[in-house]
Amino acid sequence: RLRLHDGKLIKDRRYHLRTYPNCFVAKELTDWLIDHKEAPDRETGIRLMQKLMDHYIIHHVCDEHSDYKDAKLLYRFRKDDGTFPLNKDVKVFVRGQSLYEKLVSVEGSILKVREENSVKYQRTFLGCEMVDWLVQEGEAENRKEAVELGRALLEHGIIQHVSNRHHFFDCDILYQFWINFRRRRRLTELLNENSSRTLSESPDSPFCLRKLNPDPGNTSFLSVQPNKEIKIVSAVRRSSITSLAGNSNPYFSVTPTLVFPPVAECNPKSVLKRPVTNEELLSPGAPYVKKTLTIVGDAVGWGFVVRGGRPCHIQAVDPGGPAAAAGMKVCQFVFSVNGMYVLHLDYQTISSLIMTGPRTLVMEVMEAVE
């Protein structure tokens, strides 16, 4: 958007005796994307702009077209007309970006390269240093408000403890900005992002338990119920869903069976005896211990089911699967996935993180102390 403003592609334009401020012509923008190597061809440029429309970033000036058309039609960035939806997640992200830019642009910034346990980390700061800075710069009225802001930034994946073992505290614990806001993302990266809901709600989600045997003709999965009974659940091969979703992970090499039986719901009843909140898990002296599990998935899956949200819990574990071998148990709470803090996420989002991540899964879980 800023580059388009600088290049005068975004400007006030007159059409049918009416002036439309801060808009661009779709056809001109497609040309610009190709000229500036943001898109290899017009088809890709159109798909990129459609992504921005789907995410409510741009829209037709009169909202007469829900699709992006490569024509002499006027579109506008919602930030330029005040219609950009600022929900809580977006507000926290924008606030984090603003703080990051402010920190990196001042002399003697608290952001430094630091070392802990012989490992060097970029863009680091101490929790108490950040609290001091937020109060001094008027970004927070007091230390309590500064800590709340720090916790919001951590819960949204903007900052994190360098080894991902602590929430945000006003002390000399080392944190870092997880996002480098100055890394310029290419627009084409948008086309590689999958829809977490589409992936995770399929009958063949990555959390389906392992198959009873490796026979390609057998499409039954084991689902371990809380009462220890064994239930056979019909499901398609995981490879069929991932192929349709455009996932090219090489370890899904089984020939896909493009047959969609009725969706069977695994473990609809929670295994938890009672709901547990994040505050309860993280409170000092809470009867929970954190464990790190390294799970190497095979061609079938990781062998566990995750359900719930804020926090998510382990609903079922296949006794003969990779997760069980790594020490996973039912009723554990998912703290992080591949270094990302996830206590604030729902199981659909966590499902997408694992589906699009590496084969070797590193998870931190919180387990109740007996």
CA angle at 350 for the pair 344 and 355, rounded to the nearest 5° = 165
Give the distance from CA 165 to its chain's centroid.
19
Judged against a pLDDT cut of 80, whether residue 349 lies above it is answered with: yes
Instruction: Measure CA of the first residue to CA of the last residue in the chain; give whole Å.
Output: 55
Residue 74, strand partner residues: 25
Three-class DSSP category at 278: helix
Are 230 and 220 in contact by the 8 Å Cβ rule? The answer is no
Confidence (pLDDT) at 260: 35
Tokens of 200: 């995770």
Average pLDDT over all residues of the chain = 79
Q: How confident is the model at residue 351 (pLDDT cuts 50, 70, 90)?
A: confident
Q: If phi over 0 gives left and psi between -120 and 50 gives alpha, with beta otherwise, what is residue 16? A: left
Residue 331 · residue 290 · CB < 8 Å: no
| Contact (CB, 8 A) for 300 and 209 | no
Domains located in the chain, CATH noted: 11-77 (1.10.10.10), 88-177 (1.10.10.10), 278-368 (2.30.42.10)
In terms of average pLDDT, the best of 88-97, 164-173, 346-355 is 164-173
Q: 159 or 218, which is more confident?
A: 159
In this structure, what are the phi and psi dihedrals at residue 95, rounded to the nearest 5 degrees? -65, -40
Two structure tokens written together for 12: 């006030």
Q: How far apart are CA 211 and CA 223, in angstroms?
A: 10
- Tell me the C-alpha distance between 243 and 258, whole Å: 10
- Is pLDDT at 147 greater than 90 in this prediction? yes
* Phi/psi of residue 170, nearest 5 degrees: -85, 75
* Integer Cα distance of 82 and 89 in angstroms: 17
Instruction: Say which residues have a Cβ less than 8 Å from residue 251's Cβ, sequence separation at least 6.
Output: 297, 298, 299, 359
Calpha distance 290→310 (Å, rounded): 17
For the chain, percent of residues with pLDDT exceeding 90: 37
- The whole-number pLDDT of residue 208 equals 52
Q: Is the pLDDT of residue 263 over 50?
A: no
Tell me how many degrees the CA angle 347-351-352 measures, rounded to the nearest 5.
125
β-bridge mates for residue 224, sequence order = 230
Task: Give ∠ CA 95-120-165 in degrees, rounded to 5.
Answer: 60
| CA 77 – CA 90 distance, rounded (Å) | 16
Distance CA 94, CA 90 (A): 6
Q: Residue 206: is its pLDDT beyond 90? A: no
Asked if 192 and 208 touch (Cβ cutoff 8 Å), the reply is no
Q: Residue 316's pLDDT is what?
A: 87
Could you report the per-residue pLDDT of 271-302, keeping only the tens digit for each? 898 999 998 998 888 899 999 998 887 767 78
312 DSSP β-pair partners? 308
Specify the pLDDT at position 182. Answer: 73
Reported confidence tier of residue 193, pLDDT bands at 50, 70, 90: low
Residue type, 369: V
User: 160 and 113 in contact (C-beta within 8 Å)?
Assistant: no
Q: What is the pLDDT of residue 299?
A: 66
- What average pLDDT does the segment 42-58 reach? 91
The three-class DSSP label of residue 197 is helix
